[in-house]
Amino acid sequence: MLNIKINIPKKTFRFFKESDIYDIMQQITNEIRAKVIEVTPRDKGAAAGSWTPVAKEEGGYSFGSDLPYIRVLQYGSEKGAKPWPSRGPKTVEDRGRIYSSQAVGGFMQKIKTISILGRIFKVRLREWSKK
């Protein structure tokens, strides 16, 4: 299982309305989820299709995947350990770990989270300034 949680810093509530903060954070989490799905390695599509919808929880939003091998796709397999004990036709070795050749070093490293956050905040700030 691999869960991703986007927390809302408590001090944020001093500056904005709670409903606005939760709305923005939900948008951010949905965009991050879409990017995670986009960069998830694909063989038969099971991993990309395994991500849960975004759910609100205390302090923020989260989503995840309970696919048994999703952590290995992200963090690789220790050399000599299952499921990928050594390099194969669809895997590569990097820094002592075996990764999917589609996700060397972890697939989430491909996500530009800062640009997602910046774009959403700019749009929302423009909307708030018009109110």
3: left (phi over 0), alpha (psi -120 to 50) or beta: beta
Higher pLDDT, 38 or 24: 38
The pLDDT-based confidence of 131 (bands split at 50, 70, 90) is low
Window from 42-51, 56-65, 76-85 with minimum mean pLDDT: 76-85
State the pLDDT at residue 67. 92
CA-CA distance, 5 to 119, in Å (whole number)?
20
Q: What is the pLDDT of residues 87-118, one digit of tens each?
A: 888 888 888 899 888 888 888 877 766 566 66
The pLDDT-based confidence of 33 (bands split at 50, 70, 90) is very high
| Mean pLDDT, rounded, for 66-73 | 90
Tokens read off for 52: 């849960």
- pTM of this prediction? 0.76
